[in-house]
Amino acid sequence: MGCTYPTIQWYQNGGLIFTDKASQEKAKTFKDLIQQVHEPGICGQCGGCVSFCFAGDLTAIEMGPEGKPHYKDEENCLKCGICFLICPQISILDEEIKEEYNWKLPIGNYQRITTAISTKKEVLENCSDGGVVTSILLALLERNLIDGAIVSQKTGPFGRKPIIATTYEEILSAAGSRFIGTSQVEELGNYTTYSPAMRELGNIRNLDLLRIAVVGTPCQIHTIRKMQNLGVTPAHVVKYTIGLFCMENFSFNRSEKEYIEHRLGFKMEDIKKINIREDFIVTLKSNDVIYIPLKEIDKLARPACFACTDYTNDFADISMGGIGSPEGYTTTIIRTEEGKMMYNEAKRNNYIQEISKSHKNYSLVSDRLDKLTYFAIKKRERGLFTLEKLKKGELEHLKQMKHDEEIVT
Ligand code: SF4
Ligand code: SF4
Ligand code: SF4
């Protein structure tokens, strides 16, 4: 397949033009995103296209109340193609990014894999999987290596929204994992575990922050790498990327919520925290812990997640999650020099402790790479299978992967 993206040139004032008429005519725009991403149902609603739309204040596109992007005023579209290029579901820049990050199967390039745990009591009380993400951010902030971080903050038992955290307390407020419904979608009876961090990155432009860290899912970090590759602002202020392992995120409406409550025997309001590892782990306010096989709630995964192939966040500076380590500990994949610096800074200054070979629990982490490989391959195969089906026209829309007669009420 030939290269279809336009040759673009940036003006010093931040504007851009296509360098030739052929490129202008060939430029893929939001219209192509509708056709290639929205219509088959693989839009992950990350908000990147809207946040970084080059029409800026002219507002050509916007997020709809149900969380999906659409044209607000097509006349204002500059046909620059940026939204198309940075969408994580479009593979145009993938080869360049893979080369830049020395990507290889099955879990991307890396220097070292470790198991660690936060040393901070206040982090461990709230976090999932060892609290290393939060502790590394705290170390970076307190040692004046960042001005802030984009993280997801709890807003209640269901609430979780992306924020730009610039204080210790704000970073701490993001420890843990819970269901959310962003205010607009919750009002419509829709709930999701997905926190749209890219929308917050768009707001960085209005702040005086020059060095930030972003914690994100593989699709979000992928978009940031595309933006950095193209020189789209404000990607230049992202100095550190912390990637979370991600098999899928979940979204459900009111009737699906009632279905899971009935099937699983607890009310969403009773949930204290959730954690996604080999199983979907729910801790209730009563402190009872329920393990639900992922297969059982696969039906509630966001349709776009079935077409996603990256589990271990292959393009992040450092990737983290619980898989491969005992419960209560964080597996970290240190990939780049920035990732190594972040990890070592936190370790040297006693924000985190590494489980070394002499540790009594070390035997529990010996099959780390096998487990990561297993999940990475499983997700890649699922994503490629889905994409192939869509390509062959055997699946008109991904909703067919998600809903079956059992779930549609
Ligand atoms: S102006 Fe550019 S980024 Fe915005 S919708 Fe049009 S093509 Fe996409
Ligand atoms: S996945 Fe993100 S960038 Fe792509 S169309 Fe959907 S909201 Fe826009
Ligand atoms: S599986 Fe995770 S990384 Fe992939 S689209 Fe869903 S939320 Fe994004």
Ligand 3 centroid distance, CA of 218 (Å): 6
Return the residue whose CA atom lies nearest to atom 8 of ligand 3. Answer: 219
130-134 long-range contacts, CB within 8 A, separation 24+: 130/322, 130/325, 130/328, 130/329, 130/330, 131/175, 131/330, 132/320, 132/330, 132/332, 132/346, 132/352, 133/215, 133/242, 133/244, 133/320, 133/330, 134/171, 134/172, 134/174, 134/175
Higher pLDDT, 178 or 309: 309
Q: Which range is least confidently modeled, 15-24, 229-238, 250-259, 322-331?
A: 15-24
Q: What is the mean pLDDT of residues 317-323?
A: 94
Return the residue whose CA atom lies nearest to atom 4 of ligand 2. Answer: 87
- pLDDT reading at 242 higher than 80: yes
31 pocket-lining for ligand 1 (C-beta < 6 Å): no
Kindly indicate the confidence band of residue 14, based on its pLDDT and cuts at 50, 70 and 90: very low
Which residue is it, tokens 């089906």? Answer: 389
- pLDDT reading at 186 higher than 60: no
* Ligand sitting nearest the alpha carbon of 198: 2
* Ligand sitting nearest the alpha carbon of 382: 3
Kindly indicate the confidence band of residue 47, based on its pLDDT and cuts at 50, 70 and 90: confident
List, for residues 197-225, the tens digit of each pLDDT value: 777 887 777 778 889 999 999 999 999 99
Q: Which residue among 194, 195, 247, 305 is best mutated to probe the pocket of ligand 3, counting the most ligand atoms within 8 A of its Cβ? A: 305
What's the pLDDT score for residue 155?
62
Return the residue whose CA atom lies nearest to atom 2 of ligand 2. Answer: 46
Structural domain spans, the chain: 8-87, 100-402
Ligand 1 centroid distance, CA of 56 (Å): 9
List, for residues 122-176, the tens digit of each pLDDT value: 898 877 778 999 999 999 999 999 999 999 876 655 556 888 999 998 898 877 5
Higher pLDDT, 15 or 136: 136
CB 274 within 8 A of CB 179: yes
The CA distance from 153 to 157, in Å, is 11
DSSP letters, 32-44, are HHIIIIITTT---
Range among 51-55, 239-243, 272-276, 291-295 with highest mean pLDDT value? 239-243
List, for residues 377-388, the tens digit of each pLDDT value: 999 999 999 888
Ligand 1 centroid distance, CA of 77 (Å): 5
What's the pLDDT score for residue 201?
82
Higher pLDDT, 287 or 103: 103
What's the pLDDT score for residue 234?
86
Kindly indicate the confidence band of residue 290, based on its pLDDT and cuts at 50, 70 and 90: confident
* Ligand sitting nearest the alpha carbon of 74: 1
Q: What is the mean pLDDT of residues 56-80?
A: 88
Ligand 1 centroid distance, CA of 378 (Å): 35
57: number of Cβ within 10 Å: 5
166: number of Cβ within 10 Å: 16
What's the pLDDT score for residue 135?
96
Q: What is the mean pLDDT of residues 29-42?
A: 90
The CA distance from 248 to 255, in Å, is 20
What's the pLDDT score for residue 397?
60
Range among 54-68, 285-299, 372-386 with highest mean pLDDT value? 372-386
Ligand 2 atom nearest the C-alpha of 42 is: 1
Our CA dihedral for 313, 315, 319, 325, rounded to 10 degrees, sits at 60
- pLDDT reading at 299 higher than 50: yes
List, for residues 337-356, the tens digit of each pLDDT value: 999 999 999 999 999 999 87
List, for residues 366-376, the tens digit of each pLDDT value: 788 999 999 99
- pLDDT reading at 263 higher than 90: no
Higher pLDDT, 179 or 77: 77
The CA distance from 407 to 256, in Å, is 7
* Ligand sitting nearest the alpha carbon of 57: 1
Return the residue whose CA atom lies nearest to atom 6 of ligand 2. Answer: 43
Cα dihedral across residues 254, 260, 266, 271: positive or negative:
negative
Ligand 3 centroid distance, CA of 25 (Å): 32
- pLDDT reading at 181 higher than 80: no
- Classify the phi-psi angles of 154: left when phi > 0, otherwise alpha if psi is within -120 to 50, otherwise beta: beta
227 pocket-lining for ligand 1 (C-beta < 6 Å): no
269: number of Cβ within 10 Å: 10
- pLDDT reading at 1 higher than 80: no
- pLDDT reading at 235 higher than 50: yes
Write out the two tokens for 257.
């919520």
CB 44 within 8 A of CB 309: no
Q: What is the mean pLDDT of residues 93-108?
A: 95
What's the pLDDT score for residue 291?
85
What's the pLDDT score for residue 90?
92
Return the residue whose CA atom lies nearest to atom 6 of ligand 1. Answer: 77
Q: Which range is least confidently modeled, 157-161, 180-184, 190-194?
A: 180-184
* Ligand sitting nearest the alpha carbon of 28: 1
Kindly indicate the confidence band of residue 408, based on its pLDDT and cuts at 50, 70 and 90: very low
201: number of Cβ within 10 Å: 27
Ligand 2 centroid distance, CA of 47 (Å): 6
Where is 192: in which H helix or E strand?
Answer: strand 190-192
- pLDDT reading at 180 higher than 70: no
305 pocket-lining for ligand 3 (C-beta < 6 Å): yes
